[in-house]
Amino acid sequence: MENYLNENFLEVKPKHSPNEVLQKWRNFCGVVKNPKRRFRFTANLSKRGEAAAMRKSNQEKLRIAVLVSKAAFHFMEGVPAADYVVPEEVKARGFEICADELGSIVEGHDVKKLKFHGGVDGIARKLRTCTTNGLTSDNELLNRRQEIFGINKFAEAQVRSFLVFVWEALQDMTLMILAVCAFVSLIVGIAMEGWPEGAHDGLGIVASILLVVFVTATSDYRQSLQFRDLDKEKKKISIQVTRNGYRQKMSIYDLLPGDVVHLSIGDQVPADGLFFSGFSVLIDESSLTGESEPVMVSMENPFLLSGTKVQDGSCKMMITTVGMRTQWGKLMATLSEGGDDETPLQVKLNGVATFIGKIGLAFAVVTFAVLVQGLFTRKLREGTHWSWSGDDALEMLEFFAIAVTIVVVAVPEGLPLAVTLSLAFAMKKMMNDKALVRHLAACETMGSATSICSDKTGTLTTNHMTVVKSCICMNVKDVDRQNTASSFSSGIPDSAVKLLLQSIFNNSGGEVVVNKEGKFEILGSPTESALLEFGLFLGGDFQGERQTSKLIKVEPFNSTKKRMGVVLELPEGGLRAHTKGASEIILAACNKVINSNGEVVPLDESTNDHLNATINQFASEALRTLCLAYMELENGFSPNDSIPLSGYTCIGIVGIKDPVRPGVKESVAICRSAGITVRMVTGDNINTAKAIARECGILTDDGIAIEGPDFREKSQEELLKLIPKIQVMARSSPLDKHTLVKQLRTTFDEVVAVTGDGTNDAPALHEADIGLAMGIAGTEVAKESADVIILDDNFSTIATVAKWGRSVYINIQKFVQFQLTVNVVALIVNFSSACLTGNAPLTAVQLLWVNMIMDTLGALALATEPPTDELMKRSPVGRRGNFINNVMWRNILGQSLYQFIVIWYLQVQGKALFQLNGPDSDLILNTLIFNSFVFCQVFNEISSREMEKINVFKGILDNYVFVGVLSSTALFQILIIEYLGTYASTSPLTLSQWFFSVFIGFLGMPIAAALKMVPV
């Protein structure tokens, strides 16, 4: 079986499998009872093809639009303006431009039309909005706007009702054949024996089919509801918007044309619109067009398209077109129908189902042939082979029904669906544990993780930052919020404080705004917020400082440069550049410093050593350090020039406290005991990183801490020795992180999980086996590249995800072990009995009931077991582990052998054992065999809760689903035996016979315990 799976079903990877590979395994699935159900949770490859074609068409449209736009720009003068008539409906609602016209301007990059309408300001007037204060929250006006321009939502596939799932469950080929058998049985039976005696067999099969269909449909429907809830969570995206003059967070689905949106690095453009202010904006349009080259957006090219990503810079845009009127809306509608990639485990179990299905089909054909041959032999012996009665026809029909039902039991259709059930259950529960799974495969892959590369800031630490130390004008001071700003500033010259405030408030990606309550509110990243809070503590006025100087150029912070810079035009004339960033990088760019008297003096060696010692002192106290510097620029500086990288004057250094999260040390220890290596990869100073890593328990005595620049210089041979020992990488660039992940995955064959929050982390998240994005601090680009979003940005949640991943993997193994045992026994019992005695002890109705126990109900019971802490004391499976391992084969074969011996013994010696005589002896014996067989499965289900441990009762009452399934199985079995005999071909049993049946089942448990002691 392993060879068969390796050849045909193991090319599918957890991420980024090509469509050809996804199509290939489908072609190998030869024995499928119900394709609609089997392939429901797999990718719709034809829809994906449509989406790819749409991207190609978008790329061509945009290319032509840009060329036309450039041509129009050159020949605009002297060309008459196009006539535009405002539709009456639009006029009546108070607007002067319609949705189609707006769409054609932005999508067509139509500079001529934009100029005709008066540019961005003209369109803002026609949309009755303001680029400063945004829309007003007048509900009536917002409703009118919605009626004319639509809402920012994409068309989604209709929610399927329960009846659709019932219909799909009825598409099962074997159930259809059995339904035909039931119909023929009813006709022949009623013609022979009259109503109602002749209808019992047929009605029994019909009732069994309906029960199977409704239980299956209910299980599938509940799964679909869970996935729908998760899809809603995935689509929750917020963005900064100005409405009523206040900047606020809003859902992208509430945006309307006229809204003013603030974009920064890593944001996704939420709708089509026009740029009207900002700096250095680079847009990645690959998601929409497939074109990898970023596009510069400015006043000359102000068009922003929905679904594209901000690669660099920051800006404000005005929304013009929303929802299904945008190309992104149409593309998303098609992509949503494409579905999620199937997971490697789903594919592997499809392979197992196909392999066993083929064996089952062969057994069914042989069983049917043997039973028919037995009938012919008997008739030949009796000399009645030329005369055939209705009874003979019914007997032939019963043989055919048994053969079909063997296929029903033998094709374990539930195996791949159990994966989906378990994943749906785990994803729902993980949502409660603050982890949102974006890709199904991440759940099962996380269970195999051997290495986690974690960020420091916000993941291992709280991300609540405050400036607690500073070195301004060479004076090191603690920042005590209990003291007044004047006492803190007492030793610092006024000119230096003024420069410091100018640097903090202008060279910032954050903002200080007045909220609806009239209070100051700081917006921006935790680092920016800490600095702005420090500026306010010093008595600074954010708005006043911003209005005093004019921003000429902004170079936003990114993790490659590790610095941010701005150029200001001063009120007294002249230009000044401010920069801030990683302390040692900015200090190395300085050649002057402000001394304690407020004078600018050259940065000599002793001063430089003093400042470097201060940085190291701050870092050893686990503080993040930032250096702030400035330089006066010559008047010849142009906004197109880059901000200089050296020649600065150092203003000062600040130390920012970011405490370690509670519970992180314990979570790191849990990961270590689970065989998962935790590494910290951060852009921070190496001393800060080492101090935090020791506090978290990541850096041990035999571990290595290395800086990114040193790591880059190492040869492949050196990396082979170094990487297993690396526990901390500081001052790392995104490329270093990507290289480390790639080396771990390819050279060391590890299963790697990586955390990331910034746009530059996207390559590493994409490369990793499991990408984990931060839900609070993470950018939209990082979240889209990730497989799991950690909603509370907490490392402890990552450990919980690993535990759930292991739980999914082991739960599915338990279910596979249980189902394969039932498969093997049911096949061999019916086949051997047909060959040796000429009849099958288990009828079609009984086999349908057994199929439901092992398929839908078995999956519900075993695939939804919650995780235990014991799971994190095992070694990880890793990349090469066999799914159906030796332990499982031992349990399957041992339990199957026991059940087969018991049932065979009953068949041969049952009548003598229970002294069964008379015309009903065969019926009672077959009922005993059926009852014993079912209770063997009930107790085997309990034994399957643990594959290696003997105590299988631990925590059993905590899983109410498991208890409910077992109780309902036993209760229904009593009903079938005692009250539904005429339909299920059973006879009521005596108390001693009931005790015997249950005891035979129970005896399987000590045998399962003994088997677990056999080493493999």
List active site positions: 455
- Of 464, 410, 349, which Cα lies nearest the Cα of 9? 349
Phi and psi based region of residue 65 (left: phi greater than 0; alpha: psi -120 to 50; beta: remaining)? alpha
CA 271 to CA 71: how far, in whole Å?
A: 26
Q: How many CB atoms lie within 10 A of CB 651?
A: 26
CA 307 to CA 328: how far, in whole Å?
A: 6
CA 847 to CA 850: how far, in whole Å?
A: 5
CA 197 to CA 193: how far, in whole Å?
A: 6
CA 34 to CA 413: how far, in whole Å?
A: 8
Non-local (6+) Cβ contacts of 804 within 8 A are 426, 429, 430, 433, 435, 443, 446, 447, 867
Q: Within 13 A of 913's CA, how many CA atoms are on the CB side?
A: 15
User: Beta partners for 1000?
Assistant: none
Query: Which token pair is 152?
Result: 């920012």
Query: Which token pair is 907?
Result: 């068949």
Query: Which token pair is 28?
Result: 């190998």
Q: Alpha helices, DSSP H only, in 838-946?
A: 844-852, 858-862, 886-914, 921-943
Instruction: Report the Cα 617 to chain-centroid distance in Å.
Output: 41
CA 1015 to CA 890: how far, in whole Å?
A: 9
User: Beta partners for 653?
Assistant: 471, 627
- Of 985, 980, 983, 944, which Cα lies nearest the Cα of 965? 944
CA 688 to CA 709: how far, in whole Å?
A: 17
- Burial code (b: 16+ CB inside 10 Å, e: under 16) for 738-747 equals bbbbebbbee
What is the 3-state composition of the chain as percent helix, strand, coil, each rounded to the nearest 5? 55, 15, 30
Query: Which token pair is 696?
Result: 């978290």
Q: At what angle do helices 795-837 and 664-673 cross, to 10 degrees?
A: 30
The full 3-state SS of 222-264, as one line of letters, equals HHHHHHHHHHHHHCCCEEEEEECCEEEEEEHHHCCCCCEEEEC
CA 585 to CA 645: how far, in whole Å?
A: 10
Instruction: Report the Cα 282 to chain-centroid distance in Å.
Output: 28
**Contact between residue 345 and residue 883 where contact means Cβ atoms under 8 Å apart:** yes
- Burial code (b: 16+ CB inside 10 Å, e: under 16) for 660-688 equals bbeebbebbebbeebbbbbbbbbbbbbbb
Give 135's DSSP letter.
Answer: B
Query: Which token pair is 210?
Result: 């309906």
CA 715 to CA 138: how far, in whole Å?
A: 64
Q: Within 13 A of 468's CA, how many CA atoms are on the CB side?
A: 13
Kind and range of the H or E run holding 655: strand 648-657
Give 644's DSSP letter.
Answer: P
Non-local (6+) Cβ contacts of 835 within 8 A are 366, 367, 370
Non-local (6+) Cβ contacts of 19 within 8 A are 45, 48, 49
Q: Phi first, then psi: what are they for 952, rounded to 5°?
A: -100, 0
- Burial code (b: 16+ CB inside 10 Å, e: under 16) for 443-463 equals bbbbbbbbbbbbbbbbbbbbb
